[in-house]
Chains A and B, each alone.
Chain A
Amino acid sequence: MALDWTTALSFLIDGLMLGFVFGVAAMGLTLIWGVMDVINLAHGPLIALAMFGVYLIMNFLGLSNPYPALLLTTLLALPVGMGIYYLAVHRVIDAPHLSSLLATYSVNMMLMGVMNAVFGGAPRNIDFSLGSITLFGDIVVPTARLVAALAAVLIAAALYFFLYRTRVGRYIRAVTDNRDAAELVGVPSTTILALSFGLGVLLAAFAGGLIATIFPFTIFDGGRYELKSFVIGVLGGLGNPIGSLFGGLILGVIEGLVPMFLETSWTPVIEFGLFVFILLVRPTGLFGGKS
C-alpha cells in the first residue's frame, strides 16, 4: 500500500482527537477505582445514558445546538452518580471486591433494561454540524471532533486543578490515600466517597455527550467505550486519572493508524493484546498508579 502522508497525518490527528475523549471516559472509571477500589461496571450504560441525555434535552428544550444540553447532562450526572453510590455501592464498600462488582453490574443491568424498554435499540443521531476546518494547509478535520478534543483537555485540566488546588480535592486525595486517617482528621469520608463516585460518573457522562456530538449511537454503545476505558485505564495506570489522558492518546493513535495497514477489525485485537501485555510486564500502568 502506498503511503500517502496527508492521509496518514489526518488519520493520526483524528485518532488523537478521539483519544482525548476516550481518555476522559477512562478518567471517570479510574478515578472511582483509585479513590475507593471499586470497578464501576455501570460505566458503559452511564456513558450511553449521557448520549441519550444530550439527545433528549435537545429535543425537549427544542435546542439546535448540542453543547448546552451536554453541559446540563454533565451537571445532572453528578447527583445521579452520588445517588448510585448511596443506593448501591456504599453498603458493599468494605466488602470483598466481588460484592462491589456485583453491585455495579446490577446497576448496569437495570440501566440497560430501562433504556431498552424506553428507547429501544434503534440508532440515534444528533442532527447538528459545525462543518470542518482545514489544518496545516491540507488536512481536513471535522470541527465537532476538534471541539470535543479541546473540551476533553479542558475538563482534564479542571480535574487536576480541583484535586490539587482545592480543599475538597485535597479531601479526595486524603480519602484515596488512607480513608480511616481522613475520617480521623475530620473528613466526612462517606460524603467524599459519594462525591468521588459522582465525579467519576460526571466524567463518563461528559465523554459520552461529546461522543454523541461525533458519532450516531444506540443504547448498546456504552459497552464498547467501557472496554476502551479499561484498556486506557491500565495503560495510564489505574487510579491515576491524569495518566488516563495519555492512555487515551495512545489508544487514539492505535485506532488512527491501524486501519491504514490492516482491516479495522484488527484494532481491538491489537488494543487488547497491548492491554494484556501491559498487565503482564507493568501492572501499575505506563504512568504508574495504585498497585
Chain B
Amino acid sequence: MAILEVHNLESGYGEVQILWGVDMALEQGRLTALVGANGAGKTTLLRTIMGLIRPWKGQVLFEGQDISHLPPHKKADMGLVLVPEGRQLFTSMTVMENLEMGATPRRARPYFQRNLELVFEMFPRLKERQNQKAGTMSGGERQMLAVARGLMAAPKVLMIDEMSLGLAPVLVLQLFESLHKLREVGITTLLVEQNVHMALAVTDYAYVLAHGQVELQGPSRELAKDPHVQKAYLGI
C-alpha cells in the first residue's frame, strides 16, 4: 500500500514552472530513491510535498488523505517529515535542543526517550556532542544531526534531501548504512540524491526525475542496469 502518493503535481517559483505533472507513490516500509540531474526539480518536489511551496495543480495524498494544501507543521504533526537540503539546523541551539525541537509533534513526545536512544545508537557522535552548539559542528556532524532531528519526530515517512552533499566518502557510507536501520524500525524513507550510484545501491525502488517529470521508475537494482541510466547518470 502506498503511504504517500503524488498525483500530477505542478509547481514552481513565481512565474517559473519547475514541476510539470509528477506522479509518484511511496510504498509503506520501502526505501525509495529520487534521483536526477541538477535542476531536475527534486528539491522543488520535496518542498511542494511538504507545503513550503504551494502546489499549482495536482494532489498529495498521505495515508489516503488529501493533504495538498496543509501547512508544513500540520504535515510534520501527521508524520510526514523532511530533512531539508543544507541541513537547516537551529544553529544557535545545542545538539540536545535541536533534538528536542525535532520531537515537537504531539505524537512523537511519548517516544522521546526511545527515539533519543535510537538516534544516539545510530550516531554515537551526537551523544558525545549533545551540549555543543549546532552551529559549531563539522559538516558531517551537522548532517547526522539533521537526520537525527528528523527521526525524533517519529516519522511515518522521512524524506531526506541531499544527504551526501559535501561529505567525505567514509561519512557518506556510514550515513547510508544507517538508512537500513530506518527500514528495520518501519520508517518509509524517500532519499533524494545526486550520488546516483550510491542511491541505487542501497534503495529498493527509484524514480528518475528529469525536466520536472518522472522519466523512469522501477526497482533500484534494475534501474542500475538500464542503459539510459548508466549512460546519463552513472557515467558508464
Binding site for B on A (CB under 8 A): 170-171, 173-174, 176-178, 180-190
Interface size class of B (residues with CB under 8 A): 20 to 34
B89 with A183: CB separation less than 8 A = no
What are the residues of chain B within 8 A of A176 when measuring CB–CB?
A: 92
Chain B nearest CB, measured from A159 CB (Å)? 17
Best-surrounded residue of A171, A177, A185 (most CB of chain B within 10 A): A185
What are the residues of chain B within 8 A of A184 when measuring CB–CB?
A: 50, 52, 72-73, 76, 81-82, 84, 88
B90 with A187: CB separation less than 8 A = no
B92 with A188: CB separation less than 8 A = no
A177 with B104: CB separation less than 8 A = no
B92 with A185: CB separation less than 8 A = no
A181 with B52: CB separation less than 8 A = no
Chain B nearest CB, measured from A183 CB (Å)? 4
Complex Cα distance, B73 from A190, in Å, reads: 10
CB of B190 closer than 8 Å to a CB of A: no
- Total A-B contacts with CB atoms under 8 angstroms apart: 65
B71 with A183: CB separation less than 8 A = yes
CB of B91 closer than 8 Å to a CB of A: yes
Other-chain residue from B91, B149, B153 in contact with A177 (beta carbon distance below 8 A): B91
Asked, given contacts A170-B97, A173-B93, A174-B90, whether A181 binds B84 with beta carbons under 8 Å apart, the answer is yes
> Which 4 A-B pairs have CB atoms at the shortest separation, nearest pair first?
A186-B76, A186-B104, A181-B88, A186-B105
What are the residues of chain B within 8 A of A171 when measuring CB–CB?
A: 104
Chain B nearest CB, measured from A284 CB (Å)? 14
CB of B5 closer than 8 Å to a CB of A: no
Complex Cα distance, B52 from A170, in Å, reads: 22
A177 with B72: CB separation less than 8 A = no
Question: B77-133: which have CB < 8 Å to A?
Answer: 77, 81-82, 84, 88-93, 97, 100-102, 104-105
What are the residues of chain B within 8 A of A182 when measuring CB–CB?
A: 90, 101
Chain A nearest CB, measured from B47 CB (Å)? 9
B90 with A181: CB separation less than 8 A = yes
What are the residues of chain A within 8 A of B149 when measuring CB–CB?
A: 185
Other-chain residue from B50, B73, B82, B91 in contact with A188 (beta carbon distance below 8 A): B73
B73 with A174: CB separation less than 8 A = no
A-B contact pairs, 29 of them (CB 8 A): A171-B104, A173-B92, A173-B93, A174-B93, A176-B92, A177-B90, A177-B91, A178-B89, A178-B91, A180-B52, A180-B88, A181-B88, A181-B89, A182-B90, A183-B71, A183-B72, A183-B73, A184-B50, A184-B52, A184-B81, A185-B101, A185-B102, A185-B149, A185-B153, A186-B77, A186-B105, A187-B73, A188-B73, A189-B73
B93 with A177: CB separation less than 8 A = yes
Chain A nearest CB, measured from B40 CB (Å)? 22
In the complex, residue of chain B having the shortest beta-carbon distance to the beta carbon of A181: B88
What are the residues of chain A within 8 A of B93 when measuring CB–CB?
A: 173-174, 177
What are the residues of chain B within 8 A of A181 when measuring CB–CB?
A: 84, 88-90
In the complex, residue of chain A having the shortest beta-carbon distance to the beta carbon of B106: A186
In the complex, residue of chain A having the shortest beta-carbon distance to the beta carbon of B97: A170
What are the residues of chain A within 8 A of B52 when measuring CB–CB?
A: 180, 183-184
In the complex, residue of chain B having the shortest beta-carbon distance to the beta carbon of A188: B73
What are the residues of chain B within 8 A of A189 when measuring CB–CB?
A: 73
